[in-house]
Every structure is written in structure tokens, then in C-alpha cells.
Amino acid sequence: MDIISQLAGVIVPVFICVGFGVLWSKIGTPFDSGLITSLVYNVGAPCLILATFQKVELSPAAMGEIALATLACYAAFTVIGFGLLRLLRLDLPSYLPSLIFPLTGSMGLPVSYFAFGDEGLALAIVYFTFGAIGTFTIGAAIAEGKLSYAKLARAPVLYAVVIAVTLQLTGGRLPEWIFNTTDLLGGMVIPAQLVALGVSLLDLRTGGATRSAFLGAFRLAMGVAVGVAIAWAFGLDGPARAIVIIQSAMPVAISSYLFAQKFGRKPEEVAGMVVSSTALSFVTLPFLLLLVL
């Protein structure tokens, strides 16, 4: 009973917030997803990073460990994804970003936070930051066909991470008023993203049902396997192990769809992967948590 209420405390908030988004879109009220994404990535996420790192103390070793594990996960996703797509003779620009990048922000952060508190959130943010930077640079580059350094230089999360890590290493603290401000603004990141996810789940025009469902399911299975393997290989335990597994096992990131749409890389099929893997993750999430809690 206790474990059920613990699981419910982690999963139900995610369901309900996504449900609000679905309801919003059902009622037919307009929802500007572009605005919300832009607010979250340019304002909210950098603030969340700064505020969260002020609240927890991570040793340089712990930070380095989770950062390396994260990079290893992304490298593994890339290699496995590449191999699978070659095997199935599918084109890389359309499908590879969806296989590499999990939904670490809107779903991974609240799950990590409700399961492991501020420490879990801080660790999950390290994973999320690599993902966010990677999606907007490498993910976009794969979909577009060329790499843009300007995009990397313009990612506010990058600056926030640099500041947060510097402060952690030097033992410095943000002035009170900056902390209060970033804490307030960071609070909108997760709910805004979850509602936006709910809205887009219904708005997405999906296609290629069988293939996208298979690839979506593959993303989830590969995520768990890679997460468990990397956590084991790095000898992680406690929250660090759990966060690497949780974040790796998230469904296909919605940002992959945005790029697919922007660059005309089979957006319907990518949407299908997003929807099928998200729906499936609602079923698999309790088991994933049982595995790591």
C-alpha cells in the first residue's frame, strides 16, 4: 500500500498535468505551444537550473560522474539508433534524433523530483541539460543536415549551467534576490511543459502507425537497457543510479517532432513515435519506478 501511494505521488501529478493539456485542447481553447516552448527554454529552464543548484550541494565528483554517465548514455543511444536504422534501411535525419533524445524535461524532471526530492532534481537537470543542448544542436543538425554553432552559443541553458557549475565548484552563492527570482521563474518549467505535452498529443497528426509504434517502443526498451547498463558500468548507486535509468527510459522527446516538422523530415511518423512512446510510458512508468526505488 505504501509503495502504491509513493508511486501515485510520482506518477499521478504527471498524468494530471498532461490531462489538463488534453482537456485544454479538447475544449478548443487556443494554445500557443511555440510561446510556451520559447518561455521555457529561454527563461524558465535557465532559472530552474540556477535555483536548483543553489538548493543542493553536489560534490564535483558526483557532478562529473553523472555528467559522464549521461554522455555515455547519449553515445550509446546514438550508436544503437544508428545501427537499427541502418538495419531497417530507414533514413537517419527523420528517425535518429527521436531515438537519441528522451523526454528528459517535461516528464523526466517531475518524476525524478517527486521520487528523489531536490537532489534527484539536480541530478536529473544535469541529464536534461545535455539533452536540451544536444537536441537543439546535434538533433537539429541531424534533421537539418548541417551543424550550427550559433545555435549552441545562443542556448541560455548553456550559460545557466556554466554559472551553476562554477558556483558549485567555488562554493559561491547567488544573491538572495536573484535566487528568489530564479526560483519563482523556474517553477513554471515543469507544469508548462506538461500541459504543452498534453495539448500537442491531441494536435499531432500521426502517420505510419506500425513503424512509429515499433520505434517508439524500441526507444523505451533501449532506454531502460542502456540506463541500467551504464549505471552498472559506472558503479552508480542510490539516486544517481535511479536518475540515469529514469531519464534514459523516457519516451521520445517532443522537440524531435518540432525539428522534423521544421525541416520536413516525416513529421507525421515522428509524431507517431512521440504519441505511441508517451502513451506506452504511462503504462511502463510504474514498473520503471519499482525498478529504481
Partner 1 sequence: MAAAYCGLFRIPFHGGHPLFLQIFSVIAPVFVCAGIGFVWGRAGRPFDTRMVGALALNLGMPCLAFSALTKLKVSPEAFAEMAGAYALVLGCFLVVGLISITVMRLPAHTFLPVFTSSNTGNMGLPLCLFAFGPEGLALGICVFVLSSLFSFTVGWSIYAGRVAADVFYNNPLIYAVAIALVFMVTDTPPPVWLANTTALMGGLAIPLMLISLGVAISKMRAEGAGRIIIICTVKLIAGFAVGYGIATLLGLEGAARGALIIESAMPVAVHNYMFAQKFNRNTADTASMILVSTAISLASLPLLMLIVL
Nearer to partner 1, 2 or 87 (CB): 2
Q: Which residue in the set 12, 153, 202, 233 belongs to the binding site for partner 1 (CB under 8 A)?
A: 12
Of 65 and 119, which CB lies nearer to partner 1 in the complex structure? Answer: 119
Task: Return d(Cα 14, Cα 111) in angstroms, integer.
Answer: 8
**Closer residue to partner 1, CB minimum distance, 15 or 263:** 15
> Applying CB under 8 A, which of residues 16, 68, 153, 290 lies at the interface with partner 1?
16
Range 71-91 burial, b when 16+ CB lie within 10 A, else e = ebbbebbbebbeebbeeeeee
Q: Three cell numbers at 128?
A: 536534461
Task: Identify the residue among 60, 117, 238, 264 touching partner 1 (CB under 8 A).
Answer: 117
DSSP-derived letter for residue 265 is S
In this structure, which amino acid lies at residue 273?
M
Grid cell of 168 as nine digits: 558549485
Which cell numbers in the block locate residue 108? 523526466
Q: Helices (H), strands (E): how many in the chain?
A: 15, 0
Is 6 a binding residue for partner 1 by CB under 8 A? The answer is yes
With binding defined as CB under 8 A, does residue 288 bind partner 1?
no
Least CB distance to partner 1 at residue 183 (A)? 5
Among 192, 201, 204, 274, binds partner 1 (CB under 8 A): 192
184 scored as a contact of partner 1 (CB under 8 A): yes
- As a whole number of angstroms, the distance between CA 178 and CA 171 comes to 16
Rounded to the nearest whole angstrom, what is the least distance from the CB of residue 92 to partner 1 in the complex?
33
Residue of 1, 28, 29, 149 interacting with partner 1 (CB under 8 A): 29
Cα(45)–Cα(47) distance, integer angstroms: 5
Q: At residue 107, what is the residue type?
A: M
Residues at the interface with partner 1 (CB under 8 A): 5-6, 8-13, 16-17, 20, 29-32, 34-35, 38-39, 43-44, 55, 110, 113-114, 117-118, 121, 175-181, 183-185, 187-188, 190-192, 194-195
